[in-house]
Each structure stands twice: as structure tokens, then as C-alpha cells.
Structure 1
């Protein structure tokens, strides 16, 4: 395949990061960007080479794109993703996928019917420690599983305020959509898909219209039960901290973005693991990338997406279908609260 024609819509924090990473990809030409902010687009007009648009559909009509990265607010995902797919454009969309599963289901079917590459921005799947945890669990290193916990804490909303999208559930605001979705998606692909909510608390701490904390009891498709514990109003954390813990009859695994700790009752020679605790660091497990920004996982996910577009073959990591399932679990939690 020749040089890929790419574009980005939504030039906020994530969109700007994606723009830098995408521009660094070999044989990818970022021909267009789209945003309604004059401050942002004026900078691209002055310093960039990409054509600047304020109208997404006009950009699709004019640019003959191979791929597009959609990093707009969640409330805009459905219309934009659908328009891109209908134009035959491969789509990378930020998380969460959609505000309701009916819209998400339509987009999944449309992408599949057209054979287009589709991917969501759940970047934790490109962090080496979580990938190692998934591999160890698949190999049965800690034996029969008995319990799990998925957790995330951070200082996102630490005082009462109004007027931002984070305080509006209709725009994808709230801890459940914005924060807990990361943990749910990671859980479903590393440990197992939730099929039942056994109880859920959505707590308001500072926000008025949305929740600031999510505490849920889950049952997975394999029968395993455990907890989801997420709070974005926790000032004891400097930034978002996501972790998974899984207890088995033969040991335990505790994993976050920086390290994975494995406890075994007996040594596992095949894995080179001794009895007791073994710690593996992200520096030994990180995915090599050609361009580093914020964390290798952000570049790795874009490189994976671009590689699949070149192959003209949808990938198996962070697909629309997987994101749709996360959205369905979110709805289950809302209904149980």
C-alpha cells in the first residue's frame, strides 16, 4: 500500500497527542485536521501542513481518506464514526465507544459489513505489564481463580464545580463513563467478561449531576466474582492509577502500569518464577515503539491501528465489538444502582 492519507477530528488533549504520534508514522500523511476551536485550528494553519476544517463531513467529502482518528466528546462519536464508515474510511475512535449500546451495535455491524479496521482508545491493552498478566492467567500460573478486583483512583474532580462536560452524563461525563470504563474494558479482556451485576453504588462526592465514585460487585462469564472500585475524587493520588488483582488457589497477581507482582505457593520452572513474590517491571515488558509521547502505549496503539490498515485486516485488540460490550456493562451497572 502507498502512503496512507490520514486525518484527525477533535484537537483536545488526546487529539493533539494522536496528531503528533500519527505524523511520526512512516508512510502516513496527515492531510487534514478538524476542530471548531479557532485558537487550535489557527495554530495548525500557521505551523502545520494539514488542511484545516471546521466541518467533519466536508473533510470526508474532500480528502479521500484512508483512515481517521476521532477524538471528540463521546456524544459526537456515533454520527462521526458512522459518517466515516459510510465513506469507507478505517476508524480509530477514543473511548468510551458510545452513549448507548443500540448506537454502538449499529456501528459494529456497519464496520463489519464493510470490512473496515475499527479500533478504540483503551490504551491499557498496550501496556506490557497488563499484557503479561493476561498471558500468565491464560497459562494458569496461579491455578483456579477465586477472586478479582479492578481499581482506579485519581484527582480528577476535587471540588464542587459546574459547566464542564465531566458534569453532564449526556456528554459522557461522570466517573462511570470516563474513568471506570477503562477498568471494565481491561477486566473483560484480561480476566473475563462481566455478565451479572450483584450490587452497585454510584456515589456523588463533589459533582451534582453525575457520580464521582463507582463501587460494584461483578460476576464474570467464567463464574468468577469480584469487585470494581473506582474513585476520581481521590486526592491521595497524583494521577490516574489503574490496577488489577487476581487471587488463585496457587497464588496471586497484582498488576498496574509500572509493575506486575506474582506470588506463587510453589515455583513454576516453565515460567522461571520462584515460590514467593516475583516482581517484573514495565521497563522489561514495554512494547518497543518508533515514537514516544506520554507513554509507549499511546504510540503502540496507533502503530497497531496503522499496521492493520496497511494489511486491510481488522485487528483483534480494542475492536468496536469489545468497546460495545464495555458500554453494555456500563448500562448494567446503571440499571443496578
Structure 2
């Protein structure tokens, strides 16, 4: 029997998730919800799903197994809470919540209810970053000495506002939108940050939110590294995220397209020569049945659905892990006020 799913929020990410969920062999997407009549009219023309303006009514009337919540961040808390209270498994867009207090309540509720929960930090499903995590676990570059986590893009290139990105109440700002991705990668691949130092949230074009974030992060294992994020860099066509990890035996530079490994000496077990070795995403991508924007978007949905079917909580991007990312964000915010 197929799972019955619903989508709440039909912006760019909601439509992307709907396109992936709809043809999934294990899912019957029965309903979608959005406040825009124009968007719902389009769905009415091209699909047979039930349409709702009110997510509460959709959850009350439809016999759903799970919901995908792809709304502005400020709406995550009430929507996720209502879905959990009604016994639904939840896949939620990132960042998780507007503050740690909200996230803690939702994480505890999900645990209490025994419901599958996942947050859409899709980079965890990018083949190159998964390979980086695997290689670091093998100790291939020895004891780690430093790291940098970077993300650059050209989202904001003038001082005009008017979108959610310029509204802090909507979850706008480079820290929540861009830096959250990098923080999440750092905590799950290298180690969990426990302190932020020298943090700067810099305005470049925006007046109400930061356009760049710089911070030194101290991890629970004592390792330190630098976070550098800027969404006003016109030298980038689109967002580019990179982790650079240095060890006593070499270093690894990883982004979404390739992973570059430099070793001081060859490693026979990993079949890596001395010097540089490059592995490309084409070698490392997770196979998926439906490709949209990147394998990782389908892979994360596949993973969530598999967890719901197996009734086994995810070990990737759970509410607890996403909540920790929110905690690091708050560390940076508080440190930047000093």
C-alpha cells in the first residue's frame, strides 16, 4: 500500500518537492496547500490532487501519512507542530526554526510521538560531501589541524529589497539562508561547533539583514576553523559551497562537483597516490529514479520515504541535527553582538 502524502507551501522548493514526490512509486500525493489562488489554479489544470488554502483543513480532512512543509521559516513551528500533534511524519525545509526554543519543542514532540522527521539540508546527500565524510573517518589525511567552510553566490547584488530574503521576520539573511548549509555540513562531517569567536555579520547591500557572515568556529574536539559566507559575490553564477579540511598527512577540498585529495604519501588501502587525486560527482552521485535540479533532492526524499515505510528514524538531517545547526546560528548571532 502506498503512503499518502501532502505538500504545504508551493514556492520554488515546494513545487520541486511536489515534482519529486508525485511520481514516487511508494507515494500517492493526495493534496497540496498554498495561500496563492494563482498557484493552486495551475495545479488544478495539470494535476488531480486535492487543493487547499488552509493547511489545518488539509491535515484534518485528508488521511495522510506524511507532509512536506516548504513554507517560509517563520511558519515552520506552527505547521510542524500541528502535523506532529495529528500523528504525521514530517519533512521540513531548512532552516528548521526561527529560534532554538521552537526547535527544541518540535524535536521533543517528534520524539514523544515516535514520528519520522527530517529537514532538507540536501548537501548531506551530495556524493562528494558524503565521500569527504567517509574519507575523514578513515583518517586518510591524519590528525586534523584546520578547516574552512565557505559559501558564495550572487543572490543580492543591489540595495533593492522587497523579498523574503531582506526580511528578518521571514527567515531572511545570509546567516539563515546560506550559512546554515555550511554549518550543517561542518557539524555532520568534521565535528560539532561549541563556540563562535570573532563573528561578523556584515551588511553590503541590505539594510535589515546581513549579506555576509564570518566567524571562527571551535569544535567539541578542540579543532578550530573559519566560516566565510557571502551572497553578494557576482563572480559566482549560483551558490557554491566548499569545505577545505587540512590534516597532518594532507588535505581535502570538496564542493558539489568534485573532491580534491592531496596526500603527503600514497595510501594503498584507499588507492590514492601521493599528490593530488580528483574524484568527480559523476563517480559519486547517489543513483535516483527521478532527476530534478540534482540527485541530492530526490535522494533526500527517497531516504525520508524509506524511513517512513521502515518506521525507522533517519540518521541524516533529523530534527535533532537541524536543531543543532540552529544552536550554532544562535552562537554566531550572540558572538557578533560583542
TM-score range, shorter chain: over 0.9
Partner deviation per Cα, 1:131-174 (whole Å, 9 max, x = no partner): 00000001100000000000000000000112211111111000
In structure 1, what is the Cα distance between the partners aligned to 2:230 and 2:148?
14
Confirm whether residue 258 of structure 1 aligns to residue 257 of structure 2: yes
TM-score by length of 2: 0.99
Partner residue, 1:41: 40
Partner deviation per Cα, 1:205-242 (whole Å, 9 max, x = no partner): 00000000001011001110010000000000000000
Tell me, what secondary structure is at the counterpart of 2:273? coil
What is the correspondence of 1:278-317 to structure 2 with a 5 Å cutoff?
A: 278-317=277-316
Confirm whether residue 233 of structure 1 aligns to residue 222 of structure 2: no
What is the correspondence of 1:31-180 to structure 2 with a 5 Å cutoff?
A: 31-180=30-179
Tell me, what secondary structure is at the counterpart of 1:227? strand
In structure 2, what is the Cα distance between the partners aligned to 1:333 and 1:129?
27
Stretches of structure 2 lacking an aligned partner (at least 5 in a row): none
In structure 2, what is the Cα distance between the partners aligned to 1:27 and 1:112?
24
Deviation (angstroms), 1:64:
1.2
Partner residue, 2:333: 334
In structure 2, what is the Cα distance between the partners aligned to 1:163 and 1:153?
22
Partner residue, 1:187: 186
Tell me, what secondary structure is at the counterpart of 1:294? coil
Partner deviation per Cα, 1:104-141 (whole Å, 9 max, x = no partner): 00000000111111000000000000000000001100
In structure 2, what is the Cα distance between the partners aligned to 1:299 and 1:175?
25
Coordinate RMSD, CA, aligned: 0.6
Tell me, what secondary structure is at the counterpart of 1:137? helix
In structure 2, what is the Cα distance between the partners aligned to 1:161 and 1:64?
44
Tell me, what secondary structure is at the counterpart of 2:206? coil
Aligned residues between the structures:
336
Tell me, what secondary structure is at the counterpart of 1:31? strand
8 Å CA contact 1:115, 1:313 repeated in 2? no
Partner residue, 1:212: 211
Partner deviation per Cα, 1:21-42 (whole Å, 9 max, x = no partner): 0012103110000000111000
Moved more, 38-47 or 146-155: 38-47
In structure 2, what is the Cα distance between the partners aligned to 1:101 and 1:285?
34
